[in-house]
Structure 1
Amino acid sequence: MTNTSNVRTILATDCGSTTTKAILIEKQGDEYRLTTRGEAPTTVEAPFDDVTIGVSNAAREVEELSGRKILDDNGQVITPAAADGSGVDLYLSTSSAGGGLQMTVAGVVKSMSAESAERAALGAGAIIMDVIAVDDGRKDYQKVERIRALRPDMILMSGGTDGGTVTHLTEMAEMLRSADPKPRLGIGLKLPVIYAGNIEARKSVEDIAGDIVDIREVPNLRPTLDRENLGPAREAIHDLFLEHVMQQAPGYAKLTTWTSAGIMSTPNAVGKIMETIARERKIDVLGVDIGGATTDVFSVFGGVFNRTVSANLGMSYSICNVLTEAGIANIARWIPFMADDAYLRNQLRNKMIRPTTIPQTLRDLQIEQAVAREALRLAFEHHKSLARGLKGVQTKAGVEFEREATGKTLVNMIKLDMIIGSGGVLSHAPERAQSALMMLDAYQPEGVTMLAVDSIFMMPQLGVLSTILPEAATQVFERDCLIKLGHVVAPIGTAKDGEPCLTVAFKGSTTEIVPFGQLRLIHLKEDQTQEATITPARGFDVGAGKGKPITVTLEGGVVGLILDTRGRPVVIPSEPTQRVAKLQEWLRVLGLAVHTSAPE
């Protein structure tokens, strides 16, 4: 383990599927700050087939911008720092290049052990290719064909409570043996299988499939019906990712000899920084990373971390999946000008076949941001369905067969303290108020919630740093990464437009009375706070119960303090002319441009 007591300079890289990003963090006085950032194309594919070339190129840009020598004559990162001041004390890296971590999960019962396995894999930063379960409705030969065809990086197998029957698990092991699955990378290697099921079935599973696949045993994901133990499986996934996937990807074996700690998968690293922030601030956090192909959602509620990936929801390659899943009517309801369905569909299809293009007009941008609202909403619905407590029933000794009622979701919007948005459409929106409005419309926060965005998407690098030097990661996250947009106050309830809804009395200052159906912006700057008593009208709730006031300290941001009385769920007029007028009214409140003419 690297000695971190005298660390003054840190280089951290994130090898993405298209771009490798490098950041230089330096200690200034008693505080760590981001000083330089560089990027270069990722070189994991032909003609280079060596990820370290992209890393060296990104680090070289940091060298040129900072005036500090970081690379030796062979293009390798110098670590630890030399006596002449060259190099860095710590070099860390994350990666999602080469398609990230792709997994299949298998469980006895789809809604119980398979769902626990899914939560464990998603939390470890995996993209799940399929969920195989005894009761998933497919015939055995179909499951065998599916397992054989998928070629994942690894399989997570679970099921049964400790001490229960072993029949279903041995059947699954027989299925694995019949399928004889091969890993995505590494010719001639056995596919890694993490076994996290009934302890009594371990030996049988090993005897049946041990010569076909590489079995790694960890404690049961569900030792009892009402307890979940995801930690050991997540750690095993991470270790196998380094041992199997990273070692086979072009150039990664070389890169691991450069780094001061193991390479971490990008989504796993983003999850780590979310966990660190929630723990250190003692708050509940919801985070999202919306990309071109996938949307990752992270949450920490009551200290419980969950991550989900919606691998079919994104803003370029997957934009037509959003259209299919949300429906054209749900996208059109967020578009602040008159446009027919055929026009909208064509715009989205154009984006899908030209995924690297960016909007050229305000109209194009507003269509894209309407799609983003639906992608964020759908990914959040998926997250809520998996981030939940446990409630199971046993109908036969030791075997879970049915779930009378699913556990309640852990996502509690009224208790949520902060929403953090990341990914191009949120981090790089032309106006920060556009990011705020997208998150407001998609997540519809309740009570009092801080909205924030990641300035330049450095959360992966800070996530891996948080496992080595948490104070440095936290300081850089708060000073250089997190951009606070401002608090939003949103009462739960519904009424007719213009009816009484909310009164906000600022201590020693003004009182704002906001009727139902409005957005209102109070110009409260970053780091400005104001104590206020928030009183909802009868029938509305801001956290203390219907009609009951709360006294809180409200904080501003680059957008300001937003008072949202549009109802929960947000009420949008169904009549097109009224809808466009209402959407344009909300845009104007936040100082955003509107269109007055229909598209040609």
Structure 2
Amino acid sequence: MEAVLLIDFGSTYTKVTAVDLENKAIIGTSKSFTTIESDICEGLNNALDKLESKHKNLSIKEMFACSSAAGGLRMVAIGLVPDLTAEAAKRAALSAGAKVMKVFSYELNESEAEEIENIRPDIILLTGGTDGGNKEVILHNAKILASLKTKAPIIVAGNKSVQEKVADILSEKEITVCENVMPELDVLNIESARLAIREVFLRRIVYAKGLSKVKDLIEGIIMPTPSAVLGAAKLLAEGTKKEKGIGDLIVVDVGGATTDIHSIAEGLPSKGGVLLKGLPEPFVKRTVEGDLGVRYSADALVGTCGIDELLNKAELSENQINEYQQFIKANPGYITDSDEIFEKFDFGLASLAVKNATKRHVGTIETHYTPFGATYVQTGKDLTTVRNIIGTGGPIINCKRAKEVLKESLFDPLEPTVLKPMRGKIFIDSKYIFAAMGLLAVKYPDIALSIMKNEIKLILEVD
């Protein structure tokens, strides 16, 4: 049987999906623990052995791969004002599938320079100033970066008036100069930076992650995993020239290290008389919460959300929670369907991850009182009218109470200013194919869309 093989090198698991192009169907999927510390091929071969044991005589026509192994694409973004160019830099990085480790604003000082060294980013995105605007800050920060020992490639996407000077200052570094992420005040232009990040990923980062060992696949490693998921989400929402999509949607992707939320929606005010505050929101938006993962980041999740909230959600004792926190540190790939206490613990972690990651992703609304009466101000996206919510990621797929977990992404009357969806259809990506379909969509979008519509199942409808 002729097939296309789609591979996702994850931080915890390497997942493989075989697709029958002729019949527009999934042949089979399998996974194995990612072996980034030794030889990444080991985990891949283990996954392939499992797949081939169930599906004999597979003839692989093409292979594509994505990766978030070894922590994914780690980036530092540097801008001028936190709410403007620094925020624009962050959005450019996230849209490219990066994990933004830190965003710095204004002139870097010595302690911040040391922090960048300690973060050891894969890429640094340097921005600052609108075109013809502030020049001093980006020039200062370029000099600081030039003095660092880091060999991370630097993407320059700031004030075009000084880009040549910045390039001269950074001449001993590997740099890429692209268009300003904010050429004018409150005008975003992140596509050029996004493409530059992807090019650096293709050219250099896959080798740094050890993926060059996969010699037969290296030409097929075309994007970070989050980019693949975002591409699949956009395709499912918008459709193709031949077939309609399902409309605006939110994808909730819970992982061991992070919880990612993707929204495909304008997010404009759903009620009249509401003023918008801040930068324009992108139609295709991704946020990454590094403190809300349920394995590697479990301690941070408990610290962020509070032990009391987890106690209440999981219905366990503090001793039981502490015991399992220690256990998953040593066993991040652990999955079970026979340990009831652990299932409660995992349910509690996933529920808090979804609740808080969605809360951070959506916008908020505030009431301001003036001499002329009340004024309503919206910051971020209003997603109250979005009707499609899709859950993916191991902690969702393997959870017996996935419906309850995903309901945490809906509007909470106790937090009326948080603009989560009011109601809608909840789906689950039970075969974990979102990243695979994002890969397939690069060359075969119609087939990828058809498969997603068939495989992503409706599990709950909330009126």
TM interval, short-chain normalised: 0.7 to 0.9
C-alpha distance in 1 between matches for 2:214 and 2:300: 37
**Is residue 128 of structure 1 aligned with residue 100 of structure 2?**
yes
Corresponding residue for residue 462 of structure 1: 437
**Is residue 143 of structure 1 aligned with residue 143 of structure 2?**
no
1:35 pairs, out of 24, 27, 37, with 27
C-alpha distance in 1 between matches for 2:35 and 2:328: 25
The Cα offsets for residues 542-564 of structure 1, whole Å up to 9 and x where unpaired, read as xxxxxxxxxxxxxxxxxxxxxxx
Corresponding residue for residue 485 of structure 1: 459
Corresponding residue for residue 386 of structure 2: 416
Give the TM-score of the pair, scaled to structure 2: 0.84
C-alpha distance in 2 between matches for 1:347 and 1:21: 26
1:300 pairs, out of 264, 285, 298, with 264
Deviation at 1:310, TM superposition (A): 1.0
C-alpha distance in 2 between matches for 1:372 and 1:156: 32
Which blocks of at least 5 consecutive residues in structure 1 are unaligned?
A: 1-6, 70-86, 183-190, 389-404, 490-600
Corresponding residue for residue 355 of structure 1: 332
The Cα offsets for residues 523-551 of structure 1, whole Å up to 9 and x where unpaired, read as xxxxxxxxxxxxxxxxxxxxxxxxxxxxx
Q: Is the 8 A contact 2:211 2:218 kept in 1?
A: no
C-alpha distance in 1 between matches for 2:253 and 2:388: 15
**Is residue 368 of structure 1 aligned with residue 327 of structure 2?**
no
Corresponding residue for residue 273 of structure 2: none
Q: Is the 8 A contact 1:288 1:421 kept in 2?
A: yes
Q: 1:12 to 1:346 in 2, by over 3 A?
A: closer
**Is residue 228 of structure 1 aligned with residue 206 of structure 2?**
no
Letter in 1 for 2:448: A
Deviation at 1:364, TM superposition (A): 3.5
Q: 1:407 to 1:170 in 2, by over 3 A?
A: farther
Q: 1:228 to 1:288 in 2, by over 3 A?
A: same
C-alpha distance in 2 between matches for 1:319 and 1:173: 36
Letter in 2 for 1:418: N
Deviation at 1:197, TM superposition (A): 0.7
C-alpha distance in 2 between matches for 1:243 and 1:181: 18
Further displaced range: 144-153 or 464-473? 144-153
**Is residue 93 of structure 1 aligned with residue 57 of structure 2?**
no
The Cα offsets for residues 224-281 of structure 1, whole Å up to 9 and x where unpaired, read as 11211111111111110111111333342653x5466443211111111011111112
Corresponding residue for residue 269 of structure 1: 228
Q: Is the 8 A contact 2:410 2:421 kept in 1?
A: no
Q: Is the 8 A contact 1:147 1:176 kept in 2?
A: no
C-alpha distance in 1 between matches for 2:211 and 2:409: 40
Give 1:76-475 correspondences, 5 Å limit: 87-134=59-106, 140-182=109-151, 191-211=152-172, 213-252=173-212, 254-255=214-215, 257-258=216-217, 261-280=220-239, 281=245, 283-302=247-266, 304-335=283-314, 337=315, 340-358=317-335, 360-384=338-362, 408-413=379-384, 415-430=385-400, 434-444=401-411, 446-475=421-450
C-alpha distance in 2 between matches for 1:261 and 1:343: 44
SS of residue paired to 2:425: strand
The Cα offsets for residues 336-372 of structure 1, whole Å up to 9 and x where unpaired, read as x5x5545544444444454344464434422331222
Q: Is the 8 A contact 1:318 1:352 kept in 2?
A: no
Letter in 2 for 1:381: K
C-alpha distance in 1 between matches for 2:332 and 2:44: 24
Corresponding residue for residue 527 of structure 1: none
The Cα offsets for residues 53-109 of structure 1, whole Å up to 9 and x where unpaired, read as 54344334433422224xxxxxxxxxxxxxxxxx33321111122331111111111
Deviation at 1:167, TM superposition (A): 1.0
C-alpha distance in 1 between matches for 2:441 and 2:51: 21
C-alpha distance in 2 between matches for 1:258 and 1:352: 31
Deviation at 1:113, TM superposition (A): 1.0
Deviation at 1:42, TM superposition (A): 3.2
C-alpha distance in 2 between matches for 1:416 and 1:196: 33
Letter in 1 for 2:131: D
Q: Is the 8 A contact 1:297 1:308 kept in 2?
A: yes
C-alpha distance in 2 between matches for 1:164 and 1:295: 36
Question: How many residues are matched?
Answer: 424
C-alpha distance in 2 between matches for 1:341 and 1:59: 41
Letter in 1 for 2:359: E
C-alpha distance in 2 between matches for 1:43 and 1:331: 31
Point out the structure with the larger helix share.
2
**What RMSD over aligned residues (CA atoms) do the two structures have, in Å?**
2.6
Give 1:40-51 correspondences, 5 Å limit: 40-46=32-38, 49=39, 51=40
Q: 1:447 to 1:133 in 2, by over 3 A?
A: closer
Q: Which has the higher contact order (CA 8 A, sep 6+)?
A: 2
Deviation at 1:384, TM superposition (A): 2.9
Deviation at 1:41, TM superposition (A): 3.9
Q: Is the 8 A contact 2:33 2:333 kept in 1?
A: no
Q: Is the 8 A contact 2:383 2:421 kept in 1?
A: no
Q: 1:350 to 1:18 in 2, by over 3 A?
A: closer
Q: Is the 8 A contact 2:8 2:16 kept in 1?
A: yes
Q: 1:461 to 1:357 in 2, by over 3 A?
A: closer
Q: 1:320 to 1:40 in 2, by over 3 A?
A: closer
Letter in 1 for 2:15: K
C-alpha distance in 1 between matches for 2:346 and 2:246: 35
C-alpha distance in 2 between matches for 1:54 and 1:357: 16
Q: 1:330 to 1:249 in 2, by over 3 A?
A: closer
Q: Is the 8 A contact 1:374 1:442 kept in 2?
A: no
The structure with more radius of gyration: 1
SS of residue paired to 1:420: strand
SS of residue paired to 1:11: strand
Q: Is the 8 A contact 1:91 1:260 kept in 2?
A: no
Deviation at 1:45, TM superposition (A): 2.6
C-alpha distance in 1 between matches for 2:453 and 2:356: 29
Give the TM-score of the pair, scaled to structure 1: 0.66
Which blocks of at least 5 consecutive residues in structure 2 are unaligned?
A: 240-244, 267-281, 366-375, 412-419
Q: Is the 8 A contact 2:41 2:213 kept in 1?
A: no
Deviation at 1:214, TM superposition (A): 1.3
C-alpha distance in 2 between matches for 1:327 and 1:435: 22
